[in-house]
Amino acid sequence: GNSVTQMEGPVTLSEEAFLTINCTYTATGYPSLFWYVQYPGEGLQLLLKATKADDKGSNKGFEATYRKETTSFHLEKGSVQVSDSAVYFCALVLFGNEKLTFGTGTRLTIIP
């Protein structure tokens, strides 16, 4: 079956630190990959996506590259801000399947 494994949290960083949240996947086909972000008390928002190998998704200073050889889609940001404090979810979907499979989420807290 399909699955997504995320870096265990919680993660606490100081403002302006470099962020990496690891994500690896197992899929029976060729998935599209996503990062979603959930701010406190809110629903999930699509942060970025990549639909084929070596694609780089980017948004709001966050980046992730689809690595087929390592089945990974790690989320990175060069300099985090307090406003980046949220829960981050890695997810995949297979073309024609249309069901999102999520990782367990990583809670990120940025301290000033």
Partner 1 sequence: NAGVTQTPKFQVLKTGQSMTLQCAQDMNHEYMSWYRQDPGMGLRLIHYSVGAGITDQGEVPNGYNVSRSTTEDFPLRLLSAAPSQTSVYFCASSSGGNWGYTFGSGTRLTVV
The 10 Å Cβ neighbour count of residue 66 is 20
> With respect to partner 1, which residue has the nearer C-beta, 44 or 80?
44
Per DSSP bridges, beta strands 31-38 and 86-94 are antiparallel
Strand ranges for 51-94 from DSSP E: 56-59, 62-65, 75-77, 86-94
Q: Which member of 13, 22, 24, 51 binds partner 1 (CB under 8 A)? A: 51
3-state secondary structure of 28: coil
When the beta carbons of 15 and 54 are compared against partner 1, the nearer one is: 54
Q: How far apart are CA 111 and CA 27, in angstroms?
A: 36
**Nearer to partner 1 (CB atom), residue 10 or residue 61:** 10
Q: Is 104 left (phi over 0), alpha (psi -120 to 50) or beta?
A: alpha
Q: How far is the CB of 17 from partner 1 (least distance, A)?
A: 25
Min. distance of Cβ 34 from partner 1 in angstroms? Answer: 5
Q: Which is nearer to partner 1, 78 or 92 (CB)?
A: 92
Asked if 32 interacts with partner 1 (CB under 8 A), we say: yes
Residues at the contact surface with partner 1, assessed by CB under 8 A = 32, 34, 36, 42-46, 49, 51, 89, 93-105
